[in-house]
Every structure is written in C-alpha cells, then in structure tokens.
C-alpha cells in the first residue's frame, strides 16, 4: 500500500517541464477543459516530492486544462515515500491504461520513456508490454520502438488504422524526405494497407534499378500524370500505377503479359470462355475454362475453340514463352 496524502497544490509548485512520466500527449486538452468546466475537477493528479518541487506522475493533461481555465490550485495525491523509476512509471502507465487501450504511437512513447529512464529491452518486454496488453514478444518491442520519431501525419495515419504497423516500423528508418514523398503519394492515391506495402517494395526496387532517389522517382511525369488525373477514380489510379510499376520492375514479364492480352483481344472471346496462362508464365500449360448452361452453348464453345486453333491463336499463346 502506497503512503499518500490528498492535498490542494498550487500549480506553480509543480515542475511542469519534467515530462519523465508524461504518457498523455495525445489527450485532447480542449475537450478536458470543457469537461472540467461542466462537471468540475474529479480526479486528482499524482505527484512525488523532489528537491526541485513536485514532479507529476500522471495528470499532465489535467494540469494543462486547469491552467487554461485559469485555475491555480489543483487537487493532488502526494506520494509520501520514495519510489524507484520503474515503480513510478508503473503508476503512470496504470493511470493511462485505465483510460483504454494504448495506440501504437503511445506504445512507442512509453518504450522511449522507459529506455530514457534506464530500463532495458528485456525488462520492457517482460514487465511493461503485458501491462499494455501485449504478450512478452520482442517483435512487438521492435515494431513499436521507433514510431515516436514519425512525423505527426504518419502517426495519425497509423492511429487511424490507415497504415500498417509493419509499414510504419519499416518506413521510420528511412530519410524523412523519402518518407514524406511516399506519404504524399499514398495519401493522394488513397490506397489500402496491402497496396501501400506492395508499392513501397516496388518503389524502392525501381529507384535502385534506375539509380534515382525515391523522392525524385515519385515526381516523374508518367507517375504524376496518373496521380493528378482528375478524370480517374482512386481505384483506377491505383491500378494504373501498379501496372506502370510492374512494367518497370518486371519488364519482360509485363511485356509478355501485354502480348498475351493483345492476342486474346484479337479473338474477342465471350466471358463464358476463359483462357489463362500459367501463373507468371512459369510453365507451358494453359488453362481453358468453359462456363456452360446447355449442350448448345457447349457446342458453340467447342467451335470457338476450334476456330482459335485454326487461326493459329493457340500456337501463338503457347509460343509466348
């Protein structure tokens, strides 16, 4: 049981610059101000006594809100015993968890604060990740640890679940100008998480193959012409960009795929008759799918297929590779 006492503290006596335990950056202070005005101040802040005054353990947002309202006195629970950094941090974390689950950016901030306080990776994984609702998994630590360094707009995409954790963890390690160029690009295209990841892999490879910076590559006219085309819907833009990227990343395959489509275009097959090439043309066996609802329709398809053979279409397809 902690030894504490409840006091009304002068806010000026609290060292507000000391953010050692501040896990509340994402709380909306304006909303809190409004709540306090409506219902009054109901939850005291927690402080410990230091040589330079009181240090906040939790209640950072409440202090800011009270100051904004013009209050100078705040109800506080004052610790009457000395706690270790880890004990004090556990209290701050418990207060944060009482308000609901932490988002990935908060996890990152918590890890960063713990490491600043001298807590090592093993301790974080063993003791603090479970406190945040995660398993004792080092991968969770690795994925989150640097996210606090992301720009606010990236962080917001992550919090809003518009960006995958894997992607965020990967992109945090690249140069900010590259990161921001790619962010602008995917925001413009409004693409989902899987495609973001696919495009990121393609963009990195193509930039290496063409020996250009990623940020310059994304500004190239053929890309920008698609991105800024007002006549295209976001899904169309995304598909065209994908096609363009594949042409650059896999030129021979894309060329063969185009020839395959061109050959089929010349014969105008009905939708009920489908010719498929082997996946990625890795093989020489083509698949023909027939969709029939009557013997007559079946006969028509057979005649159509015979016609394809007579016109040398089958041979042309087989000889593509």
Binding site for another protein (CB under 8 A): 205, 208-209, 250-253, 256, 278-284, 321
Q: Which is nearer to another protein, 216 or 284 (CB)?
A: 284
Could you give the count of Cα atoms lying within 13 Å of 138 in the half-sphere of its Cβ?
Answer: 3
Smallest CA-to-CA distance from 111 within 149, 146, 135, 137 is with: 146
Asked if 27 and 35 touch (Cβ cutoff 8 Å), the reply is: no
CB of 256 vs another protein, minimal distance in Å: 7
CB of 89 to another protein, least distance (A): 26
Closest contact distance (angstroms) between CB of 250 and another protein is 5
Rounded Cα distance, 231 and 225, in Å: 11
Q: Nearer Cβ to another protein, position 77 or 140?
A: 140
For residue 124, which of 105, 132, 169 has the smallest C-alpha distance? 132
Considering the complex, state which of residue 41 and residue 286 has its C-beta at the smaller distance from another protein. Answer: 286
Closest approach, Cβ 280 to another protein, in A, equals 4
- Asked if residues 267 and 313 have their Cβ atoms less than 8 Å apart, the reply is yes
| Minimum gap (Å) between residue 279 Cβ and another protein | 7
Tokens matching residue 180:
């921001």
CB 49 within 8 A of CB 79: yes
Distance of alpha carbon 173 from alpha carbon 282, whole angstroms: 36
* Cβ pair 234, 190 in contact under 8 A: yes
Closer Cβ to another protein, 157 or 171, answer by number: 171
């Amino acid at each position: 049981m902690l030894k504490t006492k409840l006091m009304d503290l002068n806010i000026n006596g609290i060292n507000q610059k000391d953010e050692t335990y501040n896990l509340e950056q994402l709380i909306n202070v304006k909303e809190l101000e409004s709540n306090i005005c409506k219902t009054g101040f109901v939850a005291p802040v927690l402080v410990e006594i230091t040589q330079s005054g009181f240090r906040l353990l939790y209640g950072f947002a409440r202090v800011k809100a009270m100051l904004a309202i013009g209050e100078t006195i705040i109800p506080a629970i004052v610790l009457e015993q000395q706690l270790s950094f880890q004990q004090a941090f556990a209290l701050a974390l418990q207060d944060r968890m009482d308000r609901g689950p932490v988002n990935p950016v908060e996890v990152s901030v918590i890890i960063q604060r713990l490491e600043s306080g001298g807590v090592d990776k093993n301790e974080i994984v063993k003791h603090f990740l479970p406190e945040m609702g995660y398993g004792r998994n080092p991968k969770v630590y690795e994925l989150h640890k640097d996210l606090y360094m992301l720009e606010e707009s990236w962080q917001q995409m992550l919090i809003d679940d518009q960006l995958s954790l894997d992607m965020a963890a990967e992109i945090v390690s690249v140069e900010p100008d590259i990161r921001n160029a790619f962010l602008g690009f995917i925001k413009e295209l409004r693409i989902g998480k899987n495609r973001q990841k696919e495009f990121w892999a393609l963009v990195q490879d193509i930039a290496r193959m063409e020996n250009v910076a990623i940020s310059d590559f994304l500004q190239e006219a053929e890309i920008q012409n698609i991105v800024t085309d007002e006549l295209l819907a976001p899904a169309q833009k995304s598909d065209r960009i994908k096609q363009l990227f594949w042409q650059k990343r896999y030129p021979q395959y894309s060329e063969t795929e185009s020839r395959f489509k061109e050959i089929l275009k010349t014969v105008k097959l009905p939708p009920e008759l489908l010719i498929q090439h082997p996946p990625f043309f890795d093989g020489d066996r083509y698949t023909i799918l027939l969709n029939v609802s009557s013997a007559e329709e079946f006969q028509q398809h057979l005649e159509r297929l015979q016609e394809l053979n007579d016109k040398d279409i089958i041979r042309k397809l087989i000889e593509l590779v």
